[in-house]
């Protein structure tokens, strides 16, 4: 079964909750109108259509628009060698949708990362806690309203209190010219 045929079956099963499939560069996508139905759609995609592998879950911040976020599920059928993308929108007021962890165990870290970086919660997730930032960190760094220079912290010995310099740091290579050995940072600072 092709990805387009699978998308059409999703459309037939869920009707107006699912948009008509769209194709861009050979990839098939569809949108789910009600984010609360993502668990049912995911279950159908896995059990009936054979999308047995959750490749990734990503989130997009549509800052200044409503709904604010788009959550994108990248699915793959290993037996049919097809991929399908399902998108759904989440408003800033609700900022929560059902976890698909019971459908695909690999959703665990993806959902935790989205929670940690964007602040979108996943109801029913058994261990929804930060995965990259420390517990108690009050911000969500991948939101578009998070300042690019970061925010200073009053917590000593936890994070930088000043912005870390990027230019000329110990892990930055020298651009252009010479060979790869000459561009290696440790060559410039052999004592480190």
CATH number, residue 38: 3.30.460.80
Global pTM value: 0.78
C-alpha to C-alpha distance for 129 and 117, rounded to whole angstroms: 11
Domain-located, residue 22: yes
Domain-located, residue 26: yes
- Residues spanned by the domain of 18: 3-146
- DSSP-derived secondary structure for 37-82: GHHHHHHHHHHTT---EEEEEEEEE-TTSSS-EEEEEEEEETTTTE
Domain-located, residue 107: yes
Q: What is the pLDDT along the chain (192 residues), one digit of tens a residue?
A: 899 999 999 999 999 999 999 999 999 999 999 999 999 999 999 999 999 999 999 999 999 999 999 999 999 999 999 999 999 999 999 899 999 999 999 999 999 999 999 999 999 999 999 999 888 888 898 999 887 766 666 655 555 555 544 444 444 555 655 666 666 555 555 554
Number of domains observed in the structure of the chain: 1
Domain-located, residue 166: no
Domain-located, residue 23: yes
Domain-located, residue 179: no
With residue 185 as reference, give the H or E element that holds it: helix 185-188
Domain-located, residue 152: no
Tokens for 172? 């930055």
**What Cα–Cα distance (Å) separates residue 191 from each residue in 164, 173, 174, 187?**
21, 17, 18, 9
Domain-located, residue 158: no
């Amino acid at each position: 079964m092709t990805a387009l045929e699978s998308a059409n079956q999703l459309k037939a099963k869920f009707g107006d909750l699912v948009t008509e499939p769209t194709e861009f560069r050979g990839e098939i996508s569809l949108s789910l109108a009600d984010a609360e139905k993502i668990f049912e759609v995911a279950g159908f995609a896995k059990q009936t259509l054979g999308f047995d592998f959750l490749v990734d879950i990503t989130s997009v911040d549509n800052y200044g628009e409503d709904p604010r976020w788009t959550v994108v599920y990248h699915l793959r059928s290993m037996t049919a060698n097809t991929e399908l993308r399902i998108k759904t929108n989440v408003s800033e007021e609700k900022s929560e949708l059902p976890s698909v962890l019971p459908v695909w165990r690999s959703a665990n870290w993806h959902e935790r990362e989205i929670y940690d970086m964007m602040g979108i919660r996943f109801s029913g997730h058994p261990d929804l806690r930060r995965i990259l930032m420390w517990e108690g960190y009050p911000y969500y760094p991948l939101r578009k309203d998070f300042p690019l220079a970061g925010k200073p912290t009053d917590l000593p010995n936890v994070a930088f209190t000043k912005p870390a310099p990027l230019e000329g740091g110990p892990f930055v290579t020298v651009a252009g010219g010479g060979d790869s050995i000459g561009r290696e940072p440790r060559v410039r600072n052999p004592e480190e």
